[in-house]
Amino acid sequence: MMRALDTMKRHFYKARPLGAALCALWVAGASADVVSGAQLPDGAQKVGENRYRVPKDFEATLDYYRSVYSTSSYPRRQIVNQPGVKAVHITNLSGKNFAGLNIYEANEEVRIYIVPTQQAVKPVKKPETKSGKKK
């Protein structure tokens, strides 16, 4: 008895349209920058240590992070809501690579600060002064 899989047909595999579309979305999403384990939106520009400017508006940036980091695994809290200033903190519960993200808008500009983990923060050493005097 010969099964359908055992026949010698010369048909090539045809990718399904939905599968091809999902692959295209996955490839497009994979192009985003990852810094210290945190994913940044396309077009983010570095403006300082762990600080990035985003070309999107505040709500579009939050929507991006809702799709990248689920709210159940990465809780959010509002840290500032004043006239002209909005800020949200996204906590990384795993604590791997980064402690969280601060997304804020001020002066009509959206920025992201990657909050480093405690292990990544290097303590500042105070310079030792050598004095030749004996007391």
Q: Residues 5-25: pLDDT tens digits?
A: 555 656 555 555 555 544 444
**Residue 26, pLDDT score:** 46
φ/ψ of 77, rounded to 5, equals -150, 145
Distances (CA, A) of 62 to 57, 86, 89: 9, 11, 10
Residues 103 and 65 sit within 8 Å (Cβ to Cβ): yes
Residues 104 and 122 sit within 8 Å (Cβ to Cβ): no
Render pLDDT for 26-81 as a digit per residue (tens, 0 to 9): 444 445 688 778 899 999 999 999 999 999 999 999 999 999 998 888 999 999 87
- 32-116 maps to CATH 3.40.50: no
